[in-house]
Amino acid sequence: MRRSHSLRLTALTGVAALTLTGCLASSDDSSDSDGAGGSDSGDGVVEVFGAFTGTEQDSFEETIAPFEDESGIDVKYTGNADFTTLIQSNVQSGNPPDIGVFPQPGLLLDIAADGDIVPIDDYLDTAGLEETLVPGLLDAVTDGEGTAYGAPMKLAVKSLVWVPKQAWEQGGYEVPATYQDLLDLSEQIKSDGIAPWCLGMEAGTATGWYGTDWVEEMVLRVAGPDVYDQWVAHEIPFDDPLIQESFDAYGEIVFGDLVLGGPEGILNTNVEDAHVPQLESPPGCMMQRQGNFVVDFYGAEVQKNLDDTYTVFAFPPYEGGFDGDPVLGGGDMVSLFNGDDDEAIQVAEFLTSPEFGAEWAQTGSFLSPHTTFDTSNYPNETITEIAKIATEADVFRFDASDLMPAEVGAGTFWTGMVEWTSGDKSTAEVTADIEESWPSS
């Protein structure tokens, strides 16, 4: 379910440097100072504009090269961390690219509501897509009338728990079947003299986003995807009892003497450094709930020996909650602006196909959104297992804070998590404050 268009495009500009994961972009570099402008139909050139830069841009261009050779189409990609601002500016000035690759479904649908993006039914086999995609992916880019305006190119998975492999095996710990089992496991690890959880929320001006991820994870499990959608669309209030129950379920970890450094440690530990105590001998903490992008924080040596260093398992379901295995995450969504250009359509078809990404996947930084993707392209067992967790999920939901109005999702929700974690405000107070902050138009 999708929120209304009245949440204003301009409200998102304050978080322009945010990537699909809900956290700060990994690089401020860009290949161009402006967003790409569309090419002329039939000229052999297709302009693509997205948010990924640096090594990700290099990987994208290497992946697209064989398609260019075979099709004769020159795909000109422009990457800029300020994508959110620039895509709005280009569209409003009548100079959109042929194709936009959106990390934020909410922004995509806001632009589509003004008639600037072509519905995917006009150029893609939507039924065929739904047969191969992780369930629920298209929901995030479907408007209230049931029309989808984007298709996924790249996936991010957040519902993961990372543990140091050797210490985990030496401790004889087992993967929990439910969240309640996870709490029991936490107590077991604690009794062995190790802090069960490694949590870090500090992220400069974006401090708080990591806490929102945890709450979203719990809402998806405690209340289920239907209520999650209603929450995102503000069809139920932010302080609904099921949302408060989700806060409190997470609170059993935060306030249960189960986190290294306690709540103060959470607030003072940088998101990118939370894993560091896991690598000590013996480990300072055992478990970290974090997305697949955490690998980027590990450093070259750990990345090279990822299978020997870490074990990863899916965040478990909540007993008495949603009867299934949901996955929380994000993704890069392809949208077509130039529906009159057959070459742009060919590029969009390729970018959203199950065959796309083979070369990129070998770097370890790409996950395909398609269940039929050839997993032999992934470089190690860890990444392959993450892909399996995503493709075997019963339902996938995008990060809620990326779908909510910016003043909430990247505003009061973030600050509310800080106030809640510090103990300055209770669950009831924080959720009521966030509800009060929800824009009325």
Q: Coil, helix or strand for 287?
A: strand
Check residue 402 and give its pLDDT: 86
Check residue 202 and give its pLDDT: 96
Check residue 4 and give its pLDDT: 35
Residues 200, 271 contacting (CB under 8 angstroms): yes
Task: Give the separation between CA 199 and CA 222, rounded to whole angstroms.
Answer: 21
Q: In the predicted model, what is the mean pLDDT of the chain? A: 90
Q: Which residue has the tokens 């970890």?
A: 253
Distant-in-sequence, close-in-space partners of 397: CB < 8 Å, separation ≥ 6: 136, 139, 140, 216, 220, 225, 228, 229, 326, 327, 328, 329
- DSSP string spanning 179-195? HHHHHHHHHHHHHTTSE
Q: What tokens were used for 437?
A: 């902050």
Quick one: average pLDDT of 57-63? 94
Q: Where residue 441 falls among pLDDT bands split at 50, 70, 90? A: low
433-436 contacts, C-beta under 8 A, 24 or more apart: 434/238, 434/239, 434/408, 435/237, 435/238, 435/239
In order of their start, the domains of the chain are 5-156+330-397 (3.40.190.10), 160-326+403-437 (3.40.190.10)
Check residue 240 and give its pLDDT: 98
Q: Where residue 162 falls among pLDDT bands split at 50, 70, 90? A: very high
Q: What tokens were used for 34?
A: 């402006």
> Rg of the Cα trace of the chain?
21
pLDDT, one tens digit per residue, over 205-264 is 899 999 999 999 999 999 999 999 999 999 999 999 999 999 999 999 999 999 999 999
pLDDT, one tens digit per residue, over 2-58 is 333 333 333 333 333 333 333 333 334 444 445 566 777 778 999 999 999 998 899
pLDDT, one tens digit per residue, over 350-401 is 999 999 999 999 988 899 999 999 999 999 999 999 999 998 999 999 999 9
Residues 352, 152 contacting (CB under 8 angstroms): yes
Residues 200, 270 contacting (CB under 8 angstroms): yes
Residues 269, 207 contacting (CB under 8 angstroms): no
